Amino acid sequence: MILFLHKRFHLFLVLFASIILSSCATYYQQNEAFNKSFENGDMQTANKHLDANKQLQSNRNRVLYLVNKGTLAWMQKDYALANTYFNEADIFVEDQRKNLGSEALALISNPRVKPYKPEDFENVLINYYKAIGYLQLGKTQEALIECRRVNEKLYALNDKYPRNNKNRYSDDAFAHNLMGMIYDASKDYNNAFIAYRNAYNIYKNNYSENFGTISPEQLKKDILRTAKRIGFEKEYLFYSKEFNMTVEDSLKDEGEIIFIWMNGLGPVKDEWSINFAAHKGAGGILTLANNEEGVSFPFNMNNFNRNEKAAFSNLDFVRIAFPKYRERVPLFNQALIEIDSLVQYKLEKAEDINAIAFKCLKDRMVREIANSILRLATKKALETYANSKNETLGTLLSLANAITEKADTRNWQTLPHSIYYTRIKLKPGNHKLILNLKSGVNGGHKQALNFNVKANTTQFFTFQNLETR
């Protein structure tokens, strides 16, 4: 009998350890085989890992499965298949309804049991990929619709947030900029000018302060060029003075390449935790505070039932786990396009996805911290109450609470770190361009690319490298 109990206890320890190790692993670590294959550029193996992992295809992870499938197809230039997955992901996010069962379970466990809700920037980057995909398929109008949807989504999302806790990422400058480029390529210079101007205002009034991304010089040139072309003399003079810049008309038989460089890989989520001390005040007010972070949240215990009040009255502190981003620093930090070893075009940063991700998460945590505290206080209260009735049950619940107090570290981990671009004007014919990627670590990398340029035609080209330090 003693040997039997010993074996049962040993089995319990093994299972308990395995649960702890599993719960400690981040989403990135849980899917390491897929991530490593993707980072190495082996899209076929990455696709096999993705399809073999049934957990990734479950409803709570469904949107991440779809965007990763879309990214893999996109990287292999199968834009029609990529947009099939991105469209399904877009519909899934739009149609996702609050699951009361998972919400209730999350209240006593952690947010990872709920279907993944993309961060705001992840949500709109679905439309960015779709827009580029449609451009490669020659579907200009569909690409424009996706650019418009980026900002329509952001307006709708931000409108739901409390007035004093809005997102700093409330508008997307690059979406407006890309919209302008598409209108421009379609010879709709009036709408191109409007989109370019909107993009510049967002860079000036939002991106420069919040994300450290200033207006690209190419955007300024495009504002002046389109203003001049449609005869907006007043606007041309205003922006010419503001930019301290003038533009000349280009040759009519020239063609253009919009070269978009998607650099590195975006951040992944890790976990950090913070302790809140409980302070009982007059009138049944319980305040949970952390002096180091300078935050406090009051709760009215009069709204609780008798058992909850008894449990909360013995509450001393709670530890709350939050997600945090870990940057994956790109290997390359600068890129140039060289033509005939004479002319160089610098690729300018237009979207810092890494910076946007960090600010989006911080803004969301400010909005959700009260709910997180209530979740942990509820778990602690249940633990205290159970312990008062049955010490063994209380101990087991305490262990369960320790295991389940984990942050949701899921995120779209195949996104680029940042996006750069330039506009290249060339005479019709075949051209060999050299992409010169520069790094402060290993010197850099050069790659030859061949283009056939047609007169009065704009072609969009994307290049993504995955290397990180």
Higher pLDDT, 239 or 5: 239
| pLDDT for the residue numbered 316 | 76
**What mean pLDDT is predicted for residues 339-364?**
93
Q: What is the pTM of this model?
A: 0.85
Number of neighbours of residue 62 by Cβ within 10 angstroms: 18
Confidence of residue 373 (pLDDT cuts 50, 70, 90): low
**What mean pLDDT is predicted for residues 259-271?**
97
Helix H, strand E, coil C: the string for the chain is: CHHHHHHHHHHHHHHHHHHHHHHHCCHHHHCHHHHHHHHCCCHHHHHHHHHHCHHHHCHHHHHHHHHHHHHHHHHCCCHHHHHHHHHHHHHHHHHCCCCHHHHHHHHHCCHHHCCCCCCHHHHHHHHHHHHHHHHHCCCHHHHHHHHHHHHHHHHHHHHCCCHHHCCCCCCCHHHHHHHHHHHHHCCCHHHHHHHHHHHHHHHHHHHHHHCCCCCCHHHHHHHHHHHHHCCCHHHHHHHHHHHCCCCCCCCCCCEEEEEEEEECCCCEEEEEEEEEEEEECHHHEEEEEECCCCEEEEEEHHHCCHHHHHHHHCCCEEEEEEEEEECCCECCCEEEEEECCCEEEECEEEECHHHHHHHHHHHHHHHHHHHHHHHHHHHHHHHHHHHHHCHHHHHHHHHHHHHHCCCCCCCCCCCCCEEEEEEEEECCEEEEEEEEEECCCCCCEEEEEEEEECCCCEEEEEEEECCEC
| pLDDT for the residue numbered 99 | 47
Candidate from 88-92, 202-206, 296-300, 332-336 with smallest mean pLDDT: 296-300
**Contact yes or no for 287/356 (Cβ under 8 A):** no
**What mean pLDDT is predicted for residues 28-50?**
95
| pLDDT for the residue numbered 2 | 36
| pLDDT for the residue numbered 293 | 73
Query: Ranked by mean pLDDT, which of 78-82, 153-157, 273-277, 384-388 comes out on top?
Result: 78-82
Domains of the chain: 31-167 (1.25.40.10), 171-249 (1.25.40)
Whole-number Å distance between alpha carbons of 205 and 237 = 21
**What mean pLDDT is predicted for residues 419-428?**
96
**What mean pLDDT is predicted for residues 240-262?**
91
| pLDDT for the residue numbered 74 | 97
Confidence of residue 107 (pLDDT cuts 50, 70, 90): very low
How does pLDDT run across 122-158, given as a tens digit for each residue?
Answer: 999 999 999 999 999 999 999 999 999 998 999 998 8
Quote the percentage of the chain above a pLDDT of 90.
60
